[in-house]
A and B are shown apart, each in its own frame.
Chain A
Amino acid sequence: MPYHEFECSKCIPERKKHAVTKGPGEDLTHALPLGYLNTIPGSISERGCAYCGAKHVIGTPMKDVIHISHGPTGCTYDTWQTKRYISDNDNFQLKRTFATDVKEKHIVFGAEKVLKQNIIEAFKAFPDIKRMTIYQTCATALIGDDIDAIADEVMEEMPDVDIFVCNSPGFAGPSQSGGHHKINIAWINKKVGNVEPKITSDYVINYVGEYNIQGDQEIMLDFFRRMGIQVLSTFTGNGSYDDLRAMHRAHLNVLECARSAEYICNELRTRYGIPRLDIDGFGFEPLSSSLLKVGRFFGIEDRAQKIIDEETARWKPELDWYRERLLGKKVCLWPGGSKLWHWAHVIHEEMGLDVVSVYTKFGHQGDMEKGIARCEEGALAIDDPNELEGLEAMYKLKPDIIFTGKRPGEVAKKIRVPYLNAHAYHNGPYKGYEGWVRFARDIYNAIYSPIHQLSFLDISKDEIPDEGGFKTQRILSDNGLSEEVRKSNYMREYTGSLDIITPLREKTYPEFNKKP
């Protein structure tokens, strides 16, 4: 597993140990990219800051909260809306973002007064919302504003409100991952244990490290409710502030994104004795085994099996339809942190894709261990690549598609590589059985888009074919498939509906009697 040196980064020797190629017969003790280190000056990183990690990734998916940044409007604006973490309260936290609008004069004379004024104004403007999170930013951290003191003052004056202070300015870590850590620890230190929940089931979990991207959390909640499990809180997608104050009463922490939320699980395990179960919610087989594990923990694995059987029978023929058309397509799996290991093996096994590269922007070496272990030999693993390295890798590896964020995604499109948004999705949710088919459909649509095919032609020099007519997506994808596959009665394209989340919010669930 030799380290891989990029031509474009020969002038940045510190980058030498940030990329490796997974070689045959080698294991993780042979080479492992460095990770979670300060960005190297001159290497134009695509990372976010620690404030972004705390606010944008973990804090703001909480739904019934005024999320206010104490700093310039740019900080809050640039961490607003791009993640599509929807909620079942009309997306309050997604529609609005708040900032104290700190200016130069506040840097000179202090910004505590303007903070207090903004807090009160926000609560008055939204009288139904009684919870608030205040995010520290670089500017107000540097001038030493005491946000906790102001929050305490307001809570004394307005006894019906509760405020959480998140002290994670942008400079508080090498990347957004530093912010994940800070908000995890701050939440358990300051808020967990403050509320006693109503327990309605014998089986109670916290669902942790799940951010309800386009409804992922609600899909999983549906499975848990069908099993009679009470989800006490979700950390934090579609999660409620007060539910998350009651995390200490769960019997089990079910952890999805260990990168962003293992800290709070580890603390809940140490302080309250709640075990941590890491699961995979993506892909038929990993999801099925995850549901079985949760069910088995409570002795209700038969309920999990029933769901698995129903969902697999309904959706497997559709997944297989896409698998036949995606077999052997090369993908660069370039997400932020956890999806490189959530997806690396299962898109290969269940969709037939070949992962030629994995990267992580803010992952730690532990994430690389998981990603490299799960991808196939020959894959190039890169930590925190800069834009030129990304381009060099794509020219070398010639992927059919990349899964990444929108900034590197737009770069890929410029060199005619289609991309899917791995952070916010295209037509999610991607979790659950139907969600996994929707992901396969998005991949299919991206690779076989007729418009994308046309983009390979340069009208300034290429001959434009005027024969054969317009090639549809289906013509492109079915070219070379056997007749047996093309005319299969078993396989079919996706038959679900546009919005699969709203109906879940009105669904009723079977009642399972609680043990006396």
Chain B
Amino acid sequence: MADINEKIAQLENFIMKKCLWQFHSRAWDRKNQNENILRMTAELLCGETVNTEDPADRCYWVDAVYLADSYRERFDWLASMSKDEIRELFLALRERLDYVLVDGSLNEELTDPRY
């Protein structure tokens, strides 16, 4: 079984190759996207109900469903994890994405007030 860092790397690699939502142009927007989409993905993988009443939430949710379905299909080790382990894994994944895409990013435009 892959250790947690290897698991995070696999999940991260999929997002970086297949998704676009994590690359919004502002630092705050990237953190917002990471937080909401990854939280909902974890909820879906834990079999929990996701609130999709608000249009913004619904938009996060469609990306989360794609991610959860793709992860289930590709990473069979997810099926053997408990809900707590999944939540912990996704918190660590979010920290990692926040670092690569915001806090450790070399993109000088992320905090440019004029874009």
The yes or no answer to B77 lying at the interface (CB within 8 A) is no
Q: Give B32 Cβ to nearest chain A Cβ, in Å.
A: 11
The yes or no answer to B6 lying at the interface (CB within 8 A) is no
Q: Give B99 Cβ to nearest chain A Cβ, in Å.
A: 7
CA distance A297 to B52 in the complex (A): 9
CA distance A5 to B10 in the complex (A): 32
5 A-B pairs with CB atoms under 8 Å apart are A28-B105, A258-B20, A266-B29, A275-B58, A275-B59
**A-side contacts of B63, CB under 8 Å:** 277, 293
Structural contact, A251 and B55, CB atoms closer than 8 A: yes
Structural contact, A297 and B62, CB atoms closer than 8 A: yes
The yes or no answer to A381 lying at the interface (CB within 8 A) is no
Interface SS of chain B = helix
The yes or no answer to A289 lying at the interface (CB within 8 A) is yes
CA distance A373 to B21 in the complex (A): 13
Q: Give A432 Cβ to nearest chain B Cβ, in Å.
A: 19
Q: Give B30 Cβ to nearest chain A Cβ, in Å.
A: 10
**A-side contacts of B24, CB under 8 Å:** 262
Structural contact, A252 and B105, CB atoms closer than 8 A: no
**B-side contacts of A292, CB under 8 Å:** 66
The yes or no answer to A274 lying at the interface (CB within 8 A) is yes
User: Considering the complex, which residues of chain A in the window 101-123 have a beta carbon less than 8 Å from any beta carbon of chain B?
Assistant: none
Q: Give A467 Cβ to nearest chain B Cβ, in Å.
A: 47
The yes or no answer to B100 lying at the interface (CB within 8 A) is yes
The yes or no answer to B5 lying at the interface (CB within 8 A) is no
**B-side contacts of A482, CB under 8 Å:** none
**B-side contacts of A289, CB under 8 Å:** 18, 66
Structural contact, A374 and B59, CB atoms closer than 8 A: no
The yes or no answer to A278 lying at the interface (CB within 8 A) is yes
**B-side contacts of A392, CB under 8 Å:** none
**B-side contacts of A245, CB under 8 Å:** none
Cβ contacts B9-26/A at 8 Å (1 or 0 each) = 000000011101101110
The yes or no answer to A273 lying at the interface (CB within 8 A) is yes
The yes or no answer to A32 lying at the interface (CB within 8 A) is yes
**Which one of B40-48, B79-87, B106-114 is at the A interface?**
B106-114
Structural contact, A345 and B106, CB atoms closer than 8 A: no
Kindly identify which residue among B25, B61, B104, B108 contacts A29, using a CB–CB cutoff of 8 Å. B104
**Which one of A58-66, A363-371, A411-419 is at the B interface?**
A363-371
Structural contact, B55 and A275, CB atoms closer than 8 A: yes
Q: Give B33 Cβ to nearest chain A Cβ, in Å.
A: 10
**A-side contacts of B56, CB under 8 Å:** 269, 273, 275
> Contact size class for A?
35 or more
Kindly identify which residue among A252, A263, A293 contacts B55, using a CB–CB cutoff of 8 Å. A252
Structural contact, B101 and A28, CB atoms closer than 8 A: yes
- Given A258-B20, A345-B18, answer yes or no on A365-B108 (Cβ-Cβ < 8 Å): yes
The yes or no answer to A36 lying at the interface (CB within 8 A) is yes
Tally of B interface residues using CB under 8 Å: 28
The yes or no answer to A181 lying at the interface (CB within 8 A) is yes
Structural contact, B115 and A374, CB atoms closer than 8 A: no
The 6 closest A-B pairs by CB, nearest first: A275-B59, A373-B16, A278-B20, A32-B106, A29-B104, A365-B107
**B-side contacts of A252, CB under 8 Å:** 55, 59
Structural contact, B66 and A293, CB atoms closer than 8 A: yes
Cβ contacts A340-359/B at 8 Å (1 or 0 each) = 01000100000000000000
CA distance A278 to B56 in the complex (A): 13
**A-side contacts of B100, CB under 8 Å:** 27-29
**A-side contacts of B61, CB under 8 Å:** 296
CA distance A366 to B72 in the complex (A): 29
Structural contact, B18 and A366, CB atoms closer than 8 A: no
The yes or no answer to B65 lying at the interface (CB within 8 A) is yes
**B-side contacts of A29, CB under 8 Å:** 99-100, 104-106
- Given A28-B101, A296-B65, A297-B62, answer yes or no on A278-B21 (Cβ-Cβ < 8 Å): yes
Structural contact, A374 and B25, CB atoms closer than 8 A: no
B30: nearest residue on chain A (CB-CB)? A366
CA distance A286 to B18 in the complex (A): 8
**B-side contacts of A370, CB under 8 Å:** 20, 23
**B-side contacts of A374, CB under 8 Å:** 16-17
User: Considering the complex, which residues of chain A in the window 142-162 have a beta carbon less than 8 Å from any beta carbon of chain B?
Assistant: none
**B-side contacts of A28, CB under 8 Å:** 100-101, 105-106
Which of A31, A296, A373 counts the most B-chain CB atoms under 10 A from its CB?
A: A373
Kindly identify which residue among A34, A279, A294, A373 contacts B17, using a CB–CB cutoff of 8 Å. A373
Q: Give B61 Cβ to nearest chain A Cβ, in Å.
A: 8
Other than A278-B23, A369-B107, give 18 A-B pairs with Cβ distance below 8 A. A28-B101, A29-B104, A29-B106, A31-B106, A34-B108, A252-B59, A262-B25, A275-B58, A276-B59, A277-B62, A277-B63, A279-B20, A289-B66, A365-B108, A369-B101, A370-B20, A373-B16, A374-B16
Cβ contacts A31-51/B at 8 Å (1 or 0 each) = 110101000000000000000
Structural contact, A277 and B59, CB atoms closer than 8 A: yes
The yes or no answer to A280 lying at the interface (CB within 8 A) is yes
B115: nearest residue on chain A (CB-CB)? A181
Q: Give A282 Cβ to nearest chain B Cβ, in Å.
A: 12
B24: nearest residue on chain A (CB-CB)? A262
Structural contact, A366 and B107, CB atoms closer than 8 A: yes
Structural contact, A263 and B115, CB atoms closer than 8 A: yes
Cβ contacts B46-76/A at 8 Å (1 or 0 each) = 0000000001101101110110000000000
